[in-house]
Amino acid sequence: MRILARAFALSLAAATPAFAADAVNGPRVVVPVHDIERGETIADADLVVGTIAPDRMRPGIIQSAASLVGHEARRVLRAGEPVRSEDVRMPILVVKGSTVTMTFAEPGIVLTGTGRAMSDAGLGESVVVQNPVSFRQVSCVVTGAGSVRAADAQPVTTVAANP
């Protein structure tokens, strides 16, 4: 019976090269159940846990479903293949060239204005926004669809004139 089970495990590993021949000791990783197209948002039902050969384990390979669910594929993700962190991103909430609402908040004051996004970005990602009046560029963090928070705004300092 043991020989039959071992033969079955070896034939399964040979049929699916993404999974390890040594399924008992290989690292556990999350792999897509089916091909996921570029731009698709990943759901829990799209993923399954599998093992890969230790020599196939690379830095950046995602090992938990929580790290993938809700993210968007940057490229086509093949069924049964490990997913790297650079293969996914948060869904795009700010599109390059779109008008966004910038917010700068400090205790006692909240300033808002509009600007133009210089790149695509997802929730929590950095994006450079250009002020349409001064053409000054400000580094911001995406807080929602079409809205950003000024990240590196410098306080204005006044210089007293010498009498």
pLDDT in tens, 85-113: 999 988 999 999 999 999 998 889 999 99
Residue 37: CB partners within 8 Å, gap ≥ 6? 73, 76
3 state DSSP class of 63: coil
| The CATH number, out of the four listed (2.60.34.10, 1.20.140.10, 3.30.70.940, 2.30.30.760), of the domain defined by the range 92-150 | 2.30.30.760
List of residues 6+ apart from 84 with CB closer than 8 A: 58, 60, 61, 62
Global pTM value: 0.58
- How is residue 66 annotated by DSSP? G
The residue extents of the domains of the chain are 2-89, 92-150
The CATH architecture to which 2-89 belongs is Alpha-Beta Complex (3.90)
Q: What does the mean pLDDT of the chain come to?
A: 80
pLDDT in tens, 15-24: 444 443 344 6
